[in-house]
Every structure is written in C-alpha cells, then in structure tokens.
Structure 1
Amino acid sequence: MTASTTTTPTTGTRTRRAPLWALKLVMSVTGMIWAFFVLVHLFGNLKIYFGAAGFDHYAHWLREIGYPLIPHEGVLWALRITLIVALVAHVTAAVLLLRRSREARGGVRARRTGSQMWFATFMLPTGLILLAFLVLHVFDMTLGVQPAAPADFTAATDGGSPAANLVASLSRPWAAIAYAVAMLAAAAHVAHGALLAVNDLGATGATVRRVAVWVGALAAIAILLGNASIPVAVLTGVLS
C-alpha cells in the first residue's frame, strides 16, 4: 500500500501585508502633520527679521511652554517625539507603497505627462532631499555637531544665542545653498502632497481637488519665499 502525497496549502504561511488604503492614510496624515509643522515653524523663523532678541525669546519660549505645570522642555520634547514618529511612519509607508507599485508594474516605471510628470515624478527625490536636510539641520541648528554646525556654535542651554547660530550657519555659502535647495524641495513636495492627501482620503470631488491645489500651492509659495529668503538675507548682509 503506497502512501498518498498531499499538498499543504501555502496560503496560511503567506505574509500579511498592510492594505494599500492604510498605507495611503498613514502617508496622508503624517504628511499633513509635517506640512503643518513646517508652516508654523516658518512663522517662528521669520521672527529673525525683527531682531535677534525676539528670535532668541521665541526659541526660549519653546522650551518654557506650560512651565511650571509642565516640565521644562516637556512640550518641546512631546512635539519632537510626535514629529519623529510621523517621519518614521511616513518614510516606511512611502517605501512600502513604492515597492508595491513596482511589483504591480513588474519593475517598469509608469509614464506620466504634463504637470503630473513634473510633480509626481519628483516626490521621491524631493523626499530624499528633505530627509538628508533634516539630518543636517538637526546636527547644525540643534546639536551643534561640526562640520554641520559652525565652529562658534553655542547651545541655547549653555547661554548661546539661536539667532547668532542661525546667522553664523547661513553665512557659509554651502549651508545657505543647501537650505535654499531644501526649501525648493519642500515647496514641490507640499504642493503635490496636498493633492495626493485629498485623493488618498477619498475626497475626489472637483471642488475639493481645486481647493487642495490652491492650498498646496499657497503653502508651497509661503514655505519657499519665507524660508529661502533667510539665507539670501544673511549672505547679502541684511541679517547679521
């Protein structure tokens, strides 16, 4: 009597993958968190035009929000943790969606035309530029790690002036150019990201799409002109 061979189903061992809608939702929500942060941060950055004292006071206020009810730098660290979690989730979802997209196309890139090509094609490169700039920016303006930071960097916790650190950093042409390029990448990323977020959240009506285009465009222009003006002002001597 011969033993019969049976085939074990492989469906039970198949790796579960997050549904596309969940990944897109994560991308949209975390992207909006970062876009909102960049816009709020923009208003803080523009205080440099009203003098070093006002800018330093703003930087000090960020560390004292809610004190003494909330521990020193408590709100600041809560914001940092939220942004870090959002960034990790955003990058992870982006990588998984890119992998799924390439698997579905068999590794062949989809061809785009018109404005769709100009914006959608550059979402990945602009995202990588922003990620690299974020690391540089933290080493420069927050941690003071050389050579990212200028030699005379002094931390605010040691009595240093954030305004002086900003001017010293952007007085270096390569740092000013890197800052301006990053703001250009941020503007492109936000402009197209607003429309993607609306689509991924299921709001596909023509009116909503138009609003998303305008909101994304206005936010992108504000980020680009507002932030990129600072290194230009430093290099031209308007800020010193």
Structure 2
Amino acid sequence: MTVTSSNRDAIAHGKINVEPLREQPKFPSWALKLTMAVTGVLFGLFVIVHMLGNLKIFTGAEHFNAYATFLRTVGAPAIPDEGVLWIFRIVLLVAVVLHIYGAFALFGRAKQSRGKFRRQGMVSSWNTFTARTMIVTGVVLLAFIIFHLLDLTLGVAPVAPEAFEHGEAYGNVVASFSRPGVVVWYIIAQLALLMHLSHGLWTATSDLGITGKRWRKVLLFLSGLLPLLVVVGNIIIPVYVLVAL
C-alpha cells in the first residue's frame, strides 16, 4: 500500500510513508484466499463423507470391511483397483499443498503489512479465538493427517500397531484404537478440527462472494453445526473401540 500526500514536513519526519509496505506479490491475495476457500470446502466435504463411512464400524466387521473393499474396487473392472481412490488421494494432496502455501503466504503478508503493530480492541468470541489459532490448529491437523496415514493406511511401525495387516480395515481400526494414547491424540486432533473447520467454513463464505444477509446467517449456523457433528461422530468411534471392543 502506498500513501500519497503533499505534506512534505510530515513525510520528512516519517509520519507519512510514501514507500510500499511490501513488494507486489506474484500471486494476489484475493487469488490465495479464493484457493483456500475452495480447498477448505473440499476438505469439509471430505471429512463429512469420511466420518459417515467410518460410522459403519458400529455395524460390525463384515459391513466395515465390505465398505473398505468398495472404496478400493469402485469403478472396476473398467478402472484398476484403487484407481478412483488414488485420484481422490492426489486431488486431496494437491489441495493440502495449495492450502498450506496460501495460509503461510497470507499470514506472512499480513504480518509484514501490519509491522510492529498488533490489532487492538477485538471483541472476545469463539470466532475471534478460532481466527487467532488457525495456524496452530492447522499444524496440529497436518501432524494428525501424517500420523493417521502412517497408522491406518500404510501400517508403518511404530506408529501402526503390531497387529496391522493390509486389507483388514476393521481389525486395524480396532488394534489402533485399543491404545489409549492414540485415542487421546485422536480426540485432541478432533477438537483442533472443530476450531479450524468452523472458522474456515465461515471465512469461505466471504471469500466465495456470499454476501446476502439471509445466506450468511444460514451459513454461519452451518459452519458451527457441521463441524460439531463431524467431530462428535469421529470421537465416538475411538471411544467405542477402546471401551466396548
């Protein structure tokens, strides 16, 4: 941003800065915000579908393993095994990279533009708290995603349980969540998801250009309700396994 003024004395004493606060970025901030909004909505849809699928664990091993087999073989025989699954994985990986890049780029630009001054007089609220902790909750979620993949997808020791066996989805989930430490870590990550997703979905409404008063009220409600339902659904799974199986 550049400030122009004819007051030469103010300029000379440094009260007015005529130099840009930062260089013109290669990618404009609006494009980064739009990218984060789109990828954030994609993540939100994914965690909802993922949670609904995982709830099949309450129907028993047969149904849960059948669901896991369906994910690996969907589109067969026209598409090779795990073909569709790998397409989704690649799309999500690209989205994660873009989301992380956008987050740190915007955070750095805001910090550079603000300089040594901090925002003052902000009203304390859930939305304010989640906004201030977006980087922290994002890092927690990234660590959890890596752990989750090593644990239940790749079966890499010592993250995965010794009883891990490729293709045995139900048995792997039970073996993993039979460890109290993993359940505690899972719950912490879900609380981070609640904060990150609720604020992210709400912010995405503005970044996607949704400005209607009624729509914003509805979306504000949904941005709180949907993450809460996802997190509750995700938490009851490891607790159920640890206590009842």
Is 1:183 equivalent to 2:194 in the alignment? no
Pairwise CA distance, 1:185: 1.0
Matches within 5 A, 1:1-240: 16-111=25-120, 112-115=122-125, 116-156=127-167, 161-237=168-244, 240=245
What SS does structure 2 have at the residue aligned with 1:164? helix
Number of residue-to-residue matches in the alignment = 222
Query: Could you report, residue by residue, the CA deviation over 1:17-73 in whole angstroms, capped at 9, with x for unpaired residues?
Result: 211110000000001111100000011100000001111110110011010011111
What SS does structure 1 have at the residue aligned with 2:27? coil
Pairwise CA distance, 1:194: 1.2
- The CA distance in 2 between the partners of 1:188 and 1:215, in whole Å, is 14
TM-score, length-normalised on structure 1?
A: 0.89
Contact 1:167 1:234 in 2 (8 A): yes
The CA RMSD over aligned residues, in Å, is 1.5
Contact 1:176 1:231 in 2 (8 A): yes
Shift in alpha-carbon separation, 1:108–1:230, aligned structure 2, 3 A: farther
Contact 1:186 1:223 in 2 (8 A): no
Query: Could you report, residue by residue, the CA deviation over 1:170-218 in whole angstroms, capped at 9, with x for unpaired residues?
Result: 1111100111111111111111111100111122232222111111112
What residue ranges of structure 1 are gaps of 5+ in the alignment?
1-13
Aligned to 2:6: none
Which runs of at least 4 in structure 1 moved beyond 4 Å after TM superposition? none
Report the identity percentage.
44
- The CA distance in 1 between the partners of 2:146 and 2:118, in whole Å, is 29
Pairwise CA distance, 1:15: 6.7
TM-score, length-normalised on structure 2?
A: 0.87
Query: Could you report, residue by residue, the CA deviation over 1:109-159 in whole angstroms, capped at 9, with x for unpaired residues?
Result: 434322232221121111111000000000000000111100110111xxx
- The CA distance in 2 between the partners of 1:136 and 1:83, in whole Å, is 16
Pairwise CA distance, 1:84: 0.2
Aligned to 1:4: none
- The CA distance in 1 between the partners of 2:215 and 2:26, in whole Å, is 31
Shift in alpha-carbon separation, 1:97–1:16, aligned structure 2, 3 A: closer
Contact 1:102 1:109 in 2 (8 A): no
- The CA distance in 2 between the partners of 1:36 and 1:58, in whole Å, is 18
What SS does structure 2 have at the residue aligned with 1:236? helix
Contact 1:187 1:219 in 2 (8 A): no
Pairwise CA distance, 1:16: 4.5
- The CA distance in 1 between the partners of 2:211 and 2:79, in whole Å, is 42
> 1:60 is matched by which residue type in structure 2?
T
- The CA distance in 1 between the partners of 2:221 and 2:117, in whole Å, is 32
